[in-house]
Structure 1
Amino acid sequence: MTKAWAPVFGDLDVHVPKPRATGVTMILDKYLGPSEVADRLCLMGDYIDHWKLTFGTSTLLDDDVLREKIATVRAHDILVYPGGTLAEVAMARGVGRDYMRHTHQLGFNGIEISDGTMRLSSAARHDAIQYALDLGLTVVAEVGKKDRTQQQPPEKLAEQALADLESGAAWVIIEAREAGRGIGVFAEDGAVRGDDVDAMTSLLGDHVERVIWEAPLSRQHEFFILRLGPNVCLGNITPLDVLAVEAMRVGLRYETFRCEVGEIEEGTFR
Protein backbone atom coordinates (compact mmCIF):
# COMPACT_ATOMS: atom_id res chain seq x y z
CA MET A 1 0.00 0.00 0.00
CA THR A 2 1.27 3.48 -0.89
CA LYS A 3 2.44 5.62 2.01
CA ALA A 4 0.84 9.04 2.46
CA TRP A 5 4.04 11.04 1.82
CA ALA A 6 5.40 8.87 -1.01
CA PRO A 7 4.96 11.64 -3.66
CA VAL A 8 7.36 13.85 -1.68
CA PHE A 9 9.82 11.49 0.02
CA GLY A 10 9.57 8.38 -2.15
CA ASP A 11 10.39 5.01 -0.64
CA LEU A 12 12.04 5.18 2.77
CA ASP A 13 14.13 2.12 1.97
CA VAL A 14 16.97 2.65 4.46
CA HIS A 15 15.25 0.08 6.67
CA VAL A 16 14.82 -3.25 4.89
CA PRO A 17 11.15 -4.18 4.25
CA LYS A 18 9.27 -7.14 5.69
CA PRO A 19 9.78 -10.03 5.92
CA ARG A 20 13.06 -9.00 7.53
CA ALA A 21 16.09 -11.20 8.11
CA THR A 22 17.54 -8.41 10.25
CA GLY A 23 16.52 -4.98 11.49
CA VAL A 24 13.57 -6.38 13.42
CA THR A 25 11.51 -4.46 15.95
CA MET A 26 10.11 -6.45 18.87
CA ILE A 27 7.34 -4.96 20.98
CA LEU A 28 6.11 -5.77 24.47
CA ASP A 29 2.37 -6.36 24.89
CA LYS A 30 1.26 -6.42 28.51
CA TYR A 31 -2.42 -5.67 28.24
CA LEU A 32 -3.73 -4.86 24.74
CA GLY A 33 -7.21 -6.12 23.91
CA PRO A 34 -8.15 -7.53 20.49
CA SER A 35 -9.53 -4.24 19.15
CA GLU A 36 -6.46 -2.33 20.36
CA VAL A 37 -4.23 -4.89 18.69
CA ALA A 38 -6.10 -4.46 15.40
CA ASP A 39 -5.90 -0.66 15.61
CA ARG A 40 -2.17 -0.66 16.24
CA LEU A 41 -1.50 -3.11 13.45
CA CYS A 42 -3.49 -0.92 11.07
CA LEU A 43 -1.18 1.98 11.91
CA MET A 44 2.18 0.27 12.36
CA GLY A 45 2.00 -3.37 11.31
CA ASP A 46 4.63 -2.77 8.62
CA TYR A 47 7.16 -1.86 11.30
CA ILE A 48 6.64 -4.67 13.82
CA ASP A 49 8.36 -8.03 13.38
CA HIS A 50 8.13 -9.69 16.81
CA TRP A 51 5.21 -9.41 19.22
CA LYS A 52 5.92 -10.60 22.75
CA LEU A 53 3.11 -11.19 25.24
CA THR A 54 5.36 -10.39 28.12
CA PHE A 55 5.88 -12.16 31.45
CA GLY A 56 3.08 -14.64 32.08
CA THR A 57 0.30 -12.24 31.07
CA SER A 58 -1.09 -14.50 28.36
CA THR A 59 -2.08 -17.10 31.00
CA LEU A 60 -4.53 -14.58 32.48
CA LEU A 61 -6.57 -14.26 29.28
CA ASP A 62 -9.60 -16.28 28.23
CA ASP A 63 -8.82 -18.88 25.59
CA ASP A 64 -10.89 -17.24 22.84
CA VAL A 65 -9.43 -13.79 23.51
CA LEU A 66 -5.86 -15.04 23.35
CA ARG A 67 -6.45 -17.03 20.17
CA GLU A 68 -8.04 -13.99 18.52
CA LYS A 69 -5.07 -11.80 19.43
CA ILE A 70 -2.58 -14.34 18.12
CA ALA A 71 -4.44 -14.79 14.83
CA THR A 72 -4.70 -11.03 14.31
CA VAL A 73 -0.99 -10.51 14.88
CA ARG A 74 0.06 -13.43 12.67
CA ALA A 75 -2.06 -12.07 9.81
CA HIS A 76 0.46 -9.20 9.62
CA ASP A 77 3.48 -11.47 9.10
CA ILE A 78 4.66 -11.09 12.70
CA LEU A 79 6.31 -13.65 14.96
CA VAL A 80 4.24 -13.81 18.16
CA TYR A 81 5.34 -15.56 21.34
CA PRO A 82 4.87 -15.58 25.13
CA GLY A 83 7.57 -14.11 27.35
CA GLY A 84 10.49 -16.32 28.35
CA THR A 85 9.67 -16.12 32.04
CA LEU A 86 6.59 -18.24 31.39
CA ALA A 87 8.76 -20.95 29.84
CA GLU A 88 11.02 -20.81 32.89
CA VAL A 89 8.04 -21.25 35.22
CA ALA A 90 6.90 -24.25 33.16
CA MET A 91 10.33 -25.89 33.20
CA ALA A 92 10.73 -25.26 36.94
CA ARG A 93 7.39 -27.01 37.52
CA GLY A 94 8.31 -29.95 35.30
CA VAL A 95 5.79 -29.16 32.55
CA GLY A 96 8.15 -27.67 29.96
CA ARG A 97 7.11 -30.04 27.16
CA ASP A 98 3.42 -29.57 27.95
CA TYR A 99 3.96 -25.82 27.85
CA MET A 100 5.63 -25.94 24.44
CA ARG A 101 2.93 -28.18 22.98
CA HIS A 102 0.20 -25.87 24.28
CA THR A 103 2.07 -22.85 22.94
CA HIS A 104 1.83 -24.41 19.50
CA GLN A 105 -1.80 -25.45 19.96
CA LEU A 106 -2.85 -21.92 20.92
CA GLY A 107 -1.53 -20.65 17.59
CA PHE A 108 1.75 -19.03 18.61
CA ASN A 109 4.35 -19.37 15.86
CA GLY A 110 7.29 -18.57 18.13
CA ILE A 111 8.57 -19.34 21.61
CA GLU A 112 11.14 -17.69 23.85
CA ILE A 113 13.60 -19.80 25.83
CA SER A 114 15.56 -18.08 28.57
CA ASP A 115 17.15 -18.53 31.97
CA GLY A 116 16.87 -14.99 33.27
CA THR A 117 15.65 -16.15 36.67
CA MET A 118 16.43 -19.87 36.93
CA ARG A 119 19.54 -21.90 36.22
CA LEU A 120 19.39 -23.92 33.02
CA SER A 121 22.24 -26.22 32.04
CA SER A 122 23.68 -26.04 28.54
CA ALA A 123 22.31 -29.51 27.77
CA ALA A 124 18.81 -28.65 29.01
CA ARG A 125 18.85 -25.39 27.07
CA HIS A 126 19.86 -27.21 23.88
CA ASP A 127 17.18 -29.88 24.40
CA ALA A 128 14.50 -27.22 24.98
CA ILE A 129 15.42 -25.48 21.74
CA GLN A 130 15.37 -28.77 19.83
CA TYR A 131 11.99 -29.78 21.24
CA ALA A 132 10.47 -26.44 20.26
CA LEU A 133 11.90 -26.74 16.76
CA ASP A 134 10.44 -30.23 16.41
CA LEU A 135 7.01 -28.72 17.14
CA GLY A 136 7.48 -26.26 14.29
CA LEU A 137 7.99 -23.21 16.51
CA THR A 138 10.51 -20.49 15.71
CA VAL A 139 12.83 -20.21 18.69
CA VAL A 140 13.89 -16.90 20.16
CA ALA A 141 16.51 -17.45 22.87
CA GLU A 142 17.37 -14.87 25.48
CA VAL A 143 20.70 -14.44 27.26
CA GLY A 144 21.40 -12.55 30.47
CA LYS A 145 20.07 -12.41 34.01
CA LYS A 146 17.28 -10.24 35.42
CA ASP A 147 18.91 -9.87 38.84
CA ARG A 148 21.23 -6.86 38.91
CA THR A 149 23.61 -8.71 41.24
CA GLN A 150 24.07 -11.61 38.79
CA GLN A 151 25.10 -9.76 35.66
CA GLN A 152 27.38 -11.60 33.25
CA PRO A 153 30.33 -10.17 31.29
CA PRO A 154 29.75 -9.39 27.60
CA GLU A 155 31.99 -12.27 26.54
CA LYS A 156 29.75 -14.73 28.41
CA LEU A 157 26.61 -13.27 26.83
CA ALA A 158 28.11 -13.51 23.35
CA GLU A 159 29.28 -17.08 23.98
CA GLN A 160 25.78 -18.16 25.03
CA ALA A 161 24.19 -16.33 22.10
CA LEU A 162 26.43 -18.17 19.64
CA ALA A 163 25.66 -21.50 21.31
CA ASP A 164 21.92 -20.85 21.07
CA LEU A 165 22.17 -19.94 17.39
CA GLU A 166 24.18 -23.13 16.83
CA SER A 167 21.42 -25.09 18.60
CA GLY A 168 18.85 -23.73 16.16
CA ALA A 169 17.53 -20.50 17.64
CA ALA A 170 16.54 -18.04 14.92
CA TRP A 171 17.13 -15.00 17.12
CA VAL A 172 18.83 -14.19 20.41
CA ILE A 173 17.66 -11.42 22.72
CA ILE A 174 20.06 -9.57 25.03
CA GLU A 175 18.29 -9.12 28.37
CA ALA A 176 17.58 -5.59 29.63
CA ARG A 177 14.11 -5.88 31.21
CA GLU A 178 11.51 -3.13 30.83
CA ALA A 179 13.54 -0.44 32.55
CA GLY A 180 16.81 -0.84 30.64
CA ARG A 181 18.87 0.15 33.67
CA GLY A 182 21.62 -1.80 35.42
CA ILE A 183 21.02 -4.91 33.29
CA GLY A 184 22.99 -6.35 30.37
CA VAL A 185 24.89 -3.66 28.48
CA PHE A 186 23.25 -0.79 30.37
CA ALA A 187 24.58 1.18 33.33
CA GLU A 188 22.40 2.05 36.32
CA ASP A 189 21.32 5.33 34.71
CA GLY A 190 20.36 3.64 31.44
CA ALA A 191 23.45 4.73 29.53
CA VAL A 192 24.79 2.15 27.08
CA ARG A 193 28.19 0.71 27.93
CA GLY A 194 29.66 1.05 24.47
CA ASP A 195 32.74 -1.04 25.26
CA ASP A 196 30.49 -3.97 26.22
CA VAL A 197 28.54 -3.64 22.97
CA ASP A 198 31.76 -3.48 20.97
CA ALA A 199 33.12 -6.56 22.74
CA MET A 200 29.96 -8.51 21.97
CA THR A 201 29.69 -7.46 18.34
CA SER A 202 33.34 -8.37 17.79
CA LEU A 203 32.74 -11.89 19.11
CA LEU A 204 29.40 -12.31 17.34
CA GLY A 205 30.67 -11.30 13.91
CA ASP A 206 28.00 -11.57 11.21
CA HIS A 207 25.70 -13.28 13.72
CA VAL A 208 25.04 -9.86 15.26
CA GLU A 209 22.32 -9.45 12.63
CA ARG A 210 20.33 -12.08 14.54
CA VAL A 211 20.77 -10.41 17.92
CA ILE A 212 17.92 -8.34 19.34
CA TRP A 213 19.08 -5.69 21.78
CA GLU A 214 16.41 -4.99 24.38
CA ALA A 215 16.44 -1.19 24.48
CA PRO A 216 13.34 0.40 26.00
CA LEU A 217 14.66 3.99 26.22
CA SER A 218 14.89 6.55 23.41
CA ARG A 219 18.55 7.34 24.01
CA GLN A 220 19.27 3.62 23.74
CA HIS A 221 17.51 3.47 20.36
CA GLU A 222 19.69 6.38 19.26
CA PHE A 223 22.89 4.68 20.39
CA PHE A 224 22.24 1.39 18.63
CA ILE A 225 20.99 2.93 15.38
CA LEU A 226 23.98 5.27 15.17
CA ARG A 227 26.47 2.58 16.26
CA LEU A 228 25.15 -0.45 14.35
CA GLY A 229 23.03 1.14 11.62
CA PRO A 230 19.31 1.47 10.82
CA ASN A 231 18.94 -2.30 10.47
CA VAL A 232 19.94 -3.12 14.02
CA CYS A 233 17.45 -5.38 15.81
CA LEU A 234 15.71 -3.65 18.74
CA GLY A 235 13.45 -5.13 21.40
CA ASN A 236 11.28 -4.15 24.35
CA ILE A 237 9.76 -1.34 22.33
CA THR A 238 6.42 -0.17 23.68
CA PRO A 239 3.50 -0.10 21.22
CA LEU A 240 3.40 3.69 21.62
CA ASP A 241 7.04 4.02 20.50
CA VAL A 242 7.01 1.89 17.34
CA LEU A 243 6.57 4.73 14.85
CA ALA A 244 9.04 6.91 16.75
CA VAL A 245 11.66 4.16 16.50
CA GLU A 246 10.95 3.68 12.81
CA ALA A 247 11.28 7.42 12.20
CA MET A 248 14.67 7.32 13.92
CA ARG A 249 15.75 4.35 11.79
CA VAL A 250 15.02 6.15 8.52
CA GLY A 251 16.45 9.56 9.45
CA LEU A 252 13.21 11.38 10.20
CA ARG A 253 14.10 12.39 13.75
CA TYR A 254 16.71 14.82 15.03
CA GLU A 255 18.88 12.08 16.51
CA THR A 256 19.63 10.54 13.12
CA PHE A 257 18.72 13.35 10.70
CA ARG A 258 21.38 15.62 12.22
CA CYS A 259 24.06 13.21 11.04
CA GLU A 260 23.27 13.76 7.36
CA VAL A 261 21.94 17.32 7.07
CA GLY A 262 24.01 20.25 5.83
CA GLU A 263 23.28 23.97 5.45
CA ILE A 264 20.81 25.23 2.87
CA GLU A 265 22.64 28.00 1.07
CA GLU A 266 20.98 31.28 0.13
CA GLY A 267 18.99 30.98 -3.05
CA THR A 268 19.02 27.17 -3.14
CA PHE A 269 15.61 26.45 -1.59
CA ARG A 270 13.62 24.12 -3.80
Structure 2
Amino acid sequence: MNYKLNDIPERPVKPREKGLTMVMDKGLSLRQVEDFIEVAGVHTDIVKLGWATSFVTPNLKEKLALYRSAGIPTYFGGTLFEAFAIRNQFDDYRRVLEDFGMEYAEVSDGSMDIEHDKKCEYIRTLSSQVTVISEVGSKDAAKIFAPYKWIALMKAELEAGSWKVIAEAREGGNVGIYRGTGEVREGLVDEILTQIPEETIIWEAPQKEQQVWFIKLIGTNVNLGNIAPAEVIPLETIRLGLRGDTFDYFLNKGK
Protein backbone atom coordinates (compact mmCIF):
# COMPACT_ATOMS: atom_id res chain seq x y z
CA MET A 1 0.00 0.00 0.00
CA ASN A 2 1.11 3.55 -0.60
CA TYR A 3 0.78 4.78 3.00
CA LYS A 4 -0.30 3.57 6.43
CA LEU A 5 -3.82 3.58 7.82
CA ASN A 6 -4.92 1.96 11.06
CA ASP A 7 -7.84 -0.48 11.29
CA ILE A 8 -7.40 -1.85 7.77
CA PRO A 9 -8.53 -5.49 7.46
CA GLU A 10 -5.76 -7.96 6.79
CA ARG A 11 -5.63 -9.52 3.34
CA PRO A 12 -3.63 -12.74 2.83
CA VAL A 13 -0.85 -12.52 0.26
CA LYS A 14 -1.12 -14.27 -3.07
CA PRO A 15 -1.39 -17.11 -3.82
CA ARG A 16 -4.22 -17.38 -1.33
CA GLU A 17 -6.99 -19.84 -0.59
CA LYS A 18 -9.58 -17.28 0.49
CA GLY A 19 -10.28 -13.68 -0.29
CA LEU A 20 -10.06 -14.48 -3.99
CA THR A 21 -11.00 -11.98 -6.67
CA MET A 22 -11.90 -13.79 -9.87
CA VAL A 23 -12.04 -11.48 -12.88
CA MET A 24 -14.12 -11.95 -16.02
CA ASP A 25 -12.24 -11.20 -19.23
CA LYS A 26 -14.88 -10.93 -21.96
CA GLY A 27 -12.49 -10.03 -24.77
CA LEU A 28 -9.70 -7.72 -23.65
CA SER A 29 -7.02 -6.95 -26.23
CA LEU A 30 -3.36 -7.64 -25.53
CA ARG A 31 -2.77 -3.97 -24.77
CA GLN A 32 -5.78 -3.88 -22.47
CA VAL A 33 -4.47 -6.95 -20.64
CA GLU A 34 -1.11 -5.22 -20.18
CA ASP A 35 -2.85 -2.13 -18.78
CA PHE A 36 -5.09 -4.26 -16.56
CA ILE A 37 -2.12 -6.15 -15.11
CA GLU A 38 -0.28 -2.88 -14.43
CA VAL A 39 -3.20 -1.44 -12.49
CA ALA A 40 -5.04 -4.39 -10.97
CA GLY A 41 -2.86 -7.47 -11.35
CA VAL A 42 -1.67 -7.33 -7.75
CA HIS A 43 -5.29 -7.61 -6.55
CA THR A 44 -6.40 -10.31 -9.04
CA ASP A 45 -6.17 -13.98 -8.10
CA ILE A 46 -7.51 -15.67 -11.21
CA VAL A 47 -9.00 -14.68 -14.58
CA LYS A 48 -11.79 -16.43 -16.45
CA LEU A 49 -12.02 -15.98 -20.20
CA GLY A 50 -15.80 -15.70 -20.20
CA TRP A 51 -18.02 -18.50 -21.51
CA ALA A 52 -16.54 -19.56 -24.90
CA THR A 53 -14.84 -16.29 -25.85
CA SER A 54 -11.52 -18.13 -26.10
CA PHE A 55 -12.81 -19.83 -29.27
CA VAL A 56 -12.88 -16.51 -31.15
CA THR A 57 -10.24 -14.48 -29.28
CA PRO A 58 -7.34 -13.39 -31.52
CA ASN A 59 -3.80 -13.90 -30.18
CA LEU A 60 -5.09 -16.28 -27.52
CA LYS A 61 -1.72 -17.83 -26.70
CA GLU A 62 -0.15 -14.39 -26.42
CA LYS A 63 -2.93 -13.27 -24.08
CA LEU A 64 -2.51 -16.32 -21.87
CA ALA A 65 1.24 -15.70 -21.80
CA LEU A 66 0.70 -12.15 -20.54
CA TYR A 67 -1.41 -13.35 -17.63
CA ARG A 68 1.06 -16.16 -16.94
CA SER A 69 4.00 -13.78 -16.85
CA ALA A 70 2.15 -11.75 -14.22
CA GLY A 71 1.53 -14.85 -12.10
CA ILE A 72 -2.23 -14.73 -12.69
CA PRO A 73 -3.82 -18.14 -13.44
CA THR A 74 -6.44 -18.26 -16.19
CA TYR A 75 -9.14 -20.66 -17.27
CA PHE A 76 -11.72 -21.00 -20.00
CA GLY A 77 -15.34 -20.40 -19.07
CA GLY A 78 -17.56 -23.36 -18.29
CA THR A 79 -19.68 -22.84 -21.39
CA LEU A 80 -16.69 -23.89 -23.50
CA PHE A 81 -16.49 -27.14 -21.55
CA GLU A 82 -20.21 -27.65 -22.17
CA ALA A 83 -19.80 -26.90 -25.89
CA PHE A 84 -17.30 -29.76 -26.11
CA ALA A 85 -19.29 -32.07 -23.82
CA ILE A 86 -22.58 -31.71 -25.71
CA ARG A 87 -20.76 -32.64 -28.93
CA ASN A 88 -19.16 -35.71 -27.31
CA GLN A 89 -15.73 -34.09 -27.65
CA PHE A 90 -14.54 -34.31 -24.04
CA ASP A 91 -11.21 -35.85 -25.06
CA ASP A 92 -10.75 -33.01 -27.55
CA TYR A 93 -11.39 -30.54 -24.72
CA ARG A 94 -8.67 -32.18 -22.63
CA ARG A 95 -6.29 -31.83 -25.55
CA VAL A 96 -7.17 -28.13 -25.89
CA LEU A 97 -6.30 -27.62 -22.22
CA GLU A 98 -2.99 -29.35 -22.80
CA ASP A 99 -2.21 -27.50 -26.04
CA PHE A 100 -2.74 -24.12 -24.39
CA GLY A 101 -0.91 -25.02 -21.20
CA MET A 102 -3.97 -24.53 -19.01
CA GLU A 103 -3.57 -25.36 -15.34
CA TYR A 104 -7.20 -24.71 -14.41
CA ALA A 105 -10.53 -25.73 -15.95
CA GLU A 106 -14.17 -25.06 -15.19
CA VAL A 107 -16.84 -27.77 -15.25
CA SER A 108 -20.38 -26.45 -15.41
CA ASP A 109 -23.85 -27.45 -16.50
CA GLY A 110 -25.52 -24.07 -16.66
CA SER A 111 -26.42 -24.23 -20.36
CA MET A 112 -27.07 -27.96 -20.79
CA ASP A 113 -28.42 -30.80 -18.68
CA ILE A 114 -25.79 -33.24 -17.44
CA GLU A 115 -26.55 -36.08 -15.06
CA HIS A 116 -24.82 -35.10 -11.86
CA ASP A 117 -22.95 -38.39 -11.56
CA LYS A 118 -21.60 -37.75 -15.05
CA LYS A 119 -20.61 -34.20 -14.11
CA CYS A 120 -18.71 -35.53 -11.10
CA GLU A 121 -17.02 -38.04 -13.37
CA TYR A 122 -15.85 -35.17 -15.60
CA ILE A 123 -14.52 -33.41 -12.47
CA ARG A 124 -12.65 -36.51 -11.30
CA THR A 125 -11.10 -37.06 -14.71
CA LEU A 126 -10.05 -33.45 -15.21
CA SER A 127 -8.71 -33.11 -11.67
CA SER A 128 -5.97 -35.58 -12.60
CA GLN A 129 -4.86 -33.09 -15.28
CA VAL A 130 -5.66 -29.60 -13.94
CA THR A 131 -7.12 -27.77 -10.96
CA VAL A 132 -10.89 -27.93 -11.37
CA ILE A 133 -13.36 -25.20 -10.50
CA SER A 134 -16.95 -26.37 -10.85
CA GLU A 135 -20.05 -24.26 -11.11
CA VAL A 136 -23.40 -24.98 -9.49
CA GLY A 137 -26.62 -23.38 -10.69
CA SER A 138 -28.38 -22.78 -13.97
CA LYS A 139 -28.16 -19.85 -16.37
CA ASP A 140 -31.91 -20.28 -16.89
CA ALA A 141 -33.73 -17.90 -14.53
CA ALA A 142 -36.72 -20.25 -14.52
CA LYS A 143 -34.68 -23.03 -12.89
CA ILE A 144 -34.68 -22.38 -9.15
CA PHE A 145 -33.02 -24.99 -6.94
CA ALA A 146 -34.01 -25.64 -3.34
CA PRO A 147 -31.21 -24.92 -0.83
CA TYR A 148 -30.79 -28.62 0.02
CA LYS A 149 -30.06 -29.34 -3.65
CA TRP A 150 -27.43 -26.59 -3.88
CA ILE A 151 -25.78 -28.08 -0.80
CA ALA A 152 -25.88 -31.65 -2.11
CA LEU A 153 -24.46 -30.65 -5.49
CA MET A 154 -21.67 -28.56 -3.97
CA LYS A 155 -20.70 -31.31 -1.53
CA ALA A 156 -20.57 -33.94 -4.26
CA GLU A 157 -18.46 -31.76 -6.57
CA LEU A 158 -15.96 -30.89 -3.84
CA GLU A 159 -15.70 -34.57 -2.97
CA ALA A 160 -15.18 -35.37 -6.69
CA GLY A 161 -12.13 -33.11 -6.77
CA SER A 162 -13.20 -29.51 -7.30
CA TRP A 163 -10.84 -26.98 -5.73
CA LYS A 164 -13.64 -24.41 -5.45
CA VAL A 165 -17.31 -24.38 -6.36
CA ILE A 166 -18.81 -21.34 -8.03
CA ALA A 167 -22.31 -20.18 -7.10
CA GLU A 168 -23.84 -19.26 -10.47
CA ALA A 169 -25.06 -15.75 -11.20
CA ARG A 170 -23.99 -15.13 -14.82
CA GLU A 171 -22.11 -11.98 -15.75
CA GLY A 172 -25.23 -9.91 -15.04
CA GLY A 173 -25.77 -11.11 -11.48
CA ASN A 174 -29.47 -11.81 -12.00
CA VAL A 175 -29.92 -15.60 -11.82
CA GLY A 176 -28.91 -18.43 -9.50
CA ILE A 177 -28.14 -16.99 -6.08
CA TYR A 178 -29.87 -13.74 -7.08
CA ARG A 179 -33.37 -12.73 -8.03
CA GLY A 180 -33.97 -11.16 -11.42
CA THR A 181 -33.54 -7.73 -9.79
CA GLY A 182 -30.03 -8.63 -8.60
CA GLU A 183 -31.19 -8.98 -4.99
CA VAL A 184 -29.42 -11.74 -3.06
CA ARG A 185 -31.47 -14.82 -2.17
CA GLU A 186 -30.44 -14.40 1.45
CA GLY A 187 -32.12 -17.52 2.79
CA LEU A 188 -30.43 -19.63 0.12
CA VAL A 189 -26.98 -18.25 0.94
CA ASP A 190 -27.52 -18.72 4.67
CA GLU A 191 -28.56 -22.34 4.14
CA ILE A 192 -25.57 -23.08 1.92
CA LEU A 193 -23.20 -21.70 4.54
CA THR A 194 -24.56 -24.07 7.19
CA GLN A 195 -23.07 -27.00 5.26
CA ILE A 196 -20.40 -25.75 2.84
CA PRO A 197 -17.21 -24.06 4.13
CA GLU A 198 -17.20 -20.48 2.90
CA GLU A 199 -13.59 -20.67 1.76
CA THR A 200 -14.53 -23.34 -0.81
CA ILE A 201 -17.16 -21.17 -2.52
CA ILE A 202 -16.66 -18.43 -5.10
CA TRP A 203 -19.76 -16.23 -5.13
CA GLU A 204 -20.34 -14.61 -8.50
CA ALA A 205 -21.00 -10.97 -7.62
CA PRO A 206 -20.64 -8.63 -10.58
CA GLN A 207 -22.72 -5.84 -9.03
CA LYS A 208 -21.32 -3.53 -6.34
CA GLU A 209 -24.32 -4.03 -4.05
CA GLN A 210 -23.79 -7.80 -4.20
CA GLN A 211 -20.10 -7.45 -3.36
CA VAL A 212 -20.92 -5.25 -0.37
CA TRP A 213 -23.53 -7.71 0.87
CA PHE A 214 -21.15 -10.67 0.83
CA ILE A 215 -18.30 -8.70 2.41
CA LYS A 216 -20.58 -7.64 5.26
CA LEU A 217 -21.89 -11.19 5.67
CA ILE A 218 -18.67 -13.21 5.43
CA GLY A 219 -15.91 -10.63 5.76
CA THR A 220 -13.08 -9.00 3.86
CA ASN A 221 -11.73 -12.32 2.62
CA VAL A 222 -14.82 -13.71 0.95
CA ASN A 223 -14.22 -15.23 -2.50
CA LEU A 224 -15.93 -13.13 -5.19
CA GLY A 225 -16.15 -13.79 -8.91
CA ASN A 226 -17.24 -12.36 -12.26
CA ILE A 227 -15.63 -9.05 -11.37
CA ALA A 228 -15.19 -6.69 -14.32
CA PRO A 229 -11.57 -5.64 -14.94
CA ALA A 230 -12.38 -2.00 -14.22
CA GLU A 231 -14.00 -2.96 -10.91
CA VAL A 232 -11.03 -4.74 -9.28
CA ILE A 233 -9.59 -1.64 -7.61
CA PRO A 234 -13.03 -0.43 -6.46
CA LEU A 235 -13.73 -3.90 -5.01
CA GLU A 236 -10.44 -3.90 -3.12
CA THR A 237 -11.38 -0.58 -1.49
CA ILE A 238 -14.71 -2.07 -0.44
CA ARG A 239 -12.88 -5.05 1.07
CA LEU A 240 -10.66 -2.66 3.05
CA GLY A 241 -13.35 -0.28 4.28
CA LEU A 242 -12.14 2.54 2.05
CA ARG A 243 -15.37 3.23 0.20
CA GLY A 244 -18.56 4.63 1.63
CA ASP A 245 -20.38 1.30 1.48
CA THR A 246 -18.10 -0.27 4.12
CA PHE A 247 -16.40 2.87 5.43
CA ASP A 248 -17.01 2.29 9.15
CA TYR A 249 -17.59 -1.46 8.98
CA PHE A 250 -14.06 -2.54 9.91
CA LEU A 251 -13.13 0.30 12.26
CA ASN A 252 -11.98 -0.91 15.69
CA LYS A 253 -12.74 -4.52 14.79
CA GLY A 254 -11.31 -6.90 17.34
CA LYS A 255 -10.72 -4.15 19.92
TM-score per shorter chain, which class? over 0.9
Identify the match of residue 246 of structure 1 among 224, 233, 236: 236
More deviation, 219-228/119-128: 119-128
Q: CA contact under 8 A between 2:8 and 2:250: conserved in structure 1? A: no
Verify: 1:72 aligned to 2:63, yes or no.
no
1:200 maps to 2:192: yes
Distance between the aligned counterparts of 2:189 and 2:9, measured in 1? Answer: 26
Aligned partners of 1:260, 1:84: CA distance in 2, in Å? 35
Aligned to 2:176: 184
d(CA) in 2 for partners of 1:236, 1:218: 11
Aligned residue number for residue 79 of structure 2: 85
Please tell me whether the aligned partners of residues 8 and 241 of structure 2 are also in contact (alpha carbons under 8 angstroms): no
1:141 aligns with 2:139: no
Match of 2:49 in 1: 53
Conserved? CA contact 1:114–1:142, under 8 Å: yes
Aligned mate of 2:143, from 135, 140, 150: 150
Structure 2: 5+ residue runs without aligned partners?
none
Aligned partners of 1:67, 1:199: CA distance in 2, in Å? Answer: 41
The aligned length equals: 252
The amino acid that maps onto 1:114 is S
Partner of residue 160 from structure 1, selected from 143, 147, 153? 153
Picking from 188, 204, 208, the partner of 1:218 is 208
The one-letter amino acid of 1:134's match is S
Match of 2:220 among 223, 230, 235: 230
1:129 corresponds, among 116, 123, 126, to 123
- Helix, strand or coil: the match of 1:251? coil
Secondary structure of the 2:155 match is: helix
Say whether residues 1:112 and 2:106 are aligned partners: yes
Q: Distance in 2 between matches of 1:193 and 1:126?
A: 26
Q: How far is the alpha carbon of 1:120 from its aligned partner?
A: 1.2
- Tell me the alpha carbon deviations over residues 124-179 of structure 1, each in whole angstroms, 9 at most, x when there is no partner: 112211221222x1101000001111121222112111111111110110000111
- The aligned counterpart of 1:34 is 30
246-255 or 152-161, which moves further after superposition?
152-161
Percent of aligned pairs sharing the same letter: 37
How big is each residue's C-alpha offset from its partner over 1:74-114, in whole Å with a ceiling of 9 and x where there is no partner?
22332211110110010000101211221222122211000
Uncovered stretches (5+) of structure 1, i.e. residues with no partner: 263-270
Using CA pairs below 8 Å that are at least 6 residues apart, which structure has the higher relative contact order? 2
CA distance in 2, matches of 1:11, 1:190: 31
Amino acid at match of 1:154: P
Cα distance in 2 for residues equivalent to 1:103 and 1:12:
40
CA contact (8 A) 1:55 1:82 kept: yes
Aligned residue for 1:213, secondary structure, equals strand
TM-score (norm 2): 0.94
The ranges of structure 1 where at least 4 consecutive aligned residues each deviate by more than 6 angstroms after the TM superposition are none
- Greater alpha carbon shift after TM alignment, 108-117 vs 69-78: 69-78
Whole-angstrom CA distance in 2 between matches of 1:41 and 1:12:
24
Q: Which amino acid aligns with 2:46?
A: H
